[in-house]
Amino acid sequence: MSMLMKVAGLTRSPGDPRILSTGPGTLAGPDHLARGLGWFSIGLGMLELFGARRVTRTLGLEGYEWLIRACGAREIGSGVACLSANPAPGVAARIAGDALDIATLAVAARQGDVRRGNAQIALLAVIGVTVLDVICHQALTARHARPPGPRRDYHDRSGFPKGLAYARNVQG
């Protein structure tokens, strides 16, 4: 029995049936990858939010702590979105954020600072993660896409069992 099941058992009322086992999940590989990227984003965002001074010192970007903190907040937001029921928008937000990070790191990597190598390594890491984000987004889009074919047409339905005219004529 997993730890999560034990904790869930503690919160149940005495009359509730016990959880004996769980079945297979509905999440596939792209969903698991999106969750992993989400947790990675949250961790990186926390580092950027609370360790901005150290990050800027390492990359030679002193004075831009505000930018690193803003990137951290963005990372946390996209990470939380990656953990939602539909992770595709969160992964898309990560890709957009990666583009901003690449632009920032490209500027830092071109400066004549002695820490230019650190910025270049970080730039290569962000490019690698961006490739992973794009692969994940494409897989999520393909997995959750609607099947080809005609779309259902509901234009003539009102949502009322006896019809809209009947609902409008009912005096209550």
Per-residue pLDDT of 120-156, as tens digits, reads 899 999 999 999 999 999 999 887 777 777 877 777 7
- Cα Rg, the chain, nearest whole Å: 24
Percent composition of the chain: helix, strand, coil (DSSP 3-state, to 5): 65, 0, 35
Please indicate, yes or no, if residue 85 is contained in any of the structural domains: yes
Measured CA to CA, the distance from residue 99 to residue 53 in angstroms comes to 22
pLDDT for 78 equals 94
pLDDT at 3 (0 to 100) = 67
Report yes or no on 101 lying in a domain. yes
pTM of model > 0.85: no
Does residue 60 fall inside a structural domain? yes
Contact indicator for 60, 116 with CB cutoff of 8 Å: yes
Nearest to 133 by CA among 93, 86, 83: 93
State how many domains the chain has: 1
The pLDDT of residue 25: 66
Residue 11 lies in a domain: no
Q: How many CB atoms lie within 10 A of CB 33?
A: 21
Joined together, the tokens standing for residue 29 give: 């590989």
Q: Which residue has the higher pLDDT, 121 or 109?
A: 121
pLDDT of 115: 73
Three-state secondary-structure class, residue 59 = helix
Query: Does residue 34 lie within any of the structural domains?
Result: yes
- Domain range holding 132? 27-142
Residue 168 resides in a domain: no
pLDDT tens for residues 26-63? 677 888 899 999 999 999 999 999 999 999 888 888 88
* pLDDT of 7: 65
